[in-house]
């Protein structure tokens, strides 16, 4: 009976060491983004008879991040830059806190009440807001993430 108790304790210690090693391996894996590397994407949305073109960029330079959006609708253009600090980072999640917002114009390029789905979800981009980006693993150099608060997924190339 004493041998069973000793064997059980040994297996428990071995399992604990194995789990601790596995956790440390997962924690030390490299992050899926490159520090200070700008990631970019382009999009087009149809608004009635016109096309709104947008270019988005995300740069994570620890301990800060910058999100910028350039929107064009016809001959009108609007640029919004959001400066943020990193609250928490891990391999699978990045939390940012909005610290600064700068827009080239305070007026929207389109009627927000009629096209609220195209709004750059600016209600979350207020000073002090905390946004959670869930990183989605990819096999390429692209950075894919899901904005929890905005319910939007983005994939950007570097």
What's the CA angle centered on 135, arms 38 and 120, to 5 degrees?
A: 65
What was the pLDDT predicted at 40? 92
Say what the pTM is. Answer: 0.70
Least confident of 36-45, 63-72, 88-97, 103-112: 103-112
Scanning the structure block, which residue is given the tokens 């490159």? 34
Q: What is the pLDDT of residues 6-61, one digit of tens each?
A: 677 888 888 899 998 888 776 666 667 778 888 998 988 787 788 888 898 989 88
Question: How far, in Å, CA of 41 to CA of 155, rounded?
Answer: 7
Percent of the chain with pLDDT over 90: 9
Q: Does residue 89 register a pLDDT over 90?
A: no
Structure token pair of residue 94: 């990045």
Going from N- to C-terminal start, the domains of the chain cover 1-30, 37-157
- Backbone φ and ψ of 9, nearest 5°: -65, -40
* First vs last C-alpha separation in the chain: 62
């Amino acid at each position: 009976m004493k041998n069973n108790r000793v064997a059980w304790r040994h297996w428990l210690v071995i399992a604990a060491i194995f789990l601790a090693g596995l956790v440390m391996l997962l924690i030390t894996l490299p992050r899926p983004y490159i520090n200070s590397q700008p990631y970019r994407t382009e999009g087009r949305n149809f608004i009635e008879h016109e096309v709104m073109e947008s270019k988005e960029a995300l740069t994570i330079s620890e301990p800060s991040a910058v999100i910028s959006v350039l929107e064009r609708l016809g001959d009108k253009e609007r640029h919004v830059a959001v400066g943020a600090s990193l609250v928490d980072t891990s391999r699978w999640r990045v939390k940012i806190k909005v610290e600064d917002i700068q827009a080239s114009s305070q007026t929207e390029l389109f009627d927000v009440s009629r096209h609220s789905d195209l709004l750059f979800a600016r209600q979350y981009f207020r000073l002090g807001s905390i946004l959670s980006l869930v990183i989605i693993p990819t096999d390429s150099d692209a950075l894919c993430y899901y904005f929890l608060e905005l319910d939007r997924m983005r994939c950007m190339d570097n």
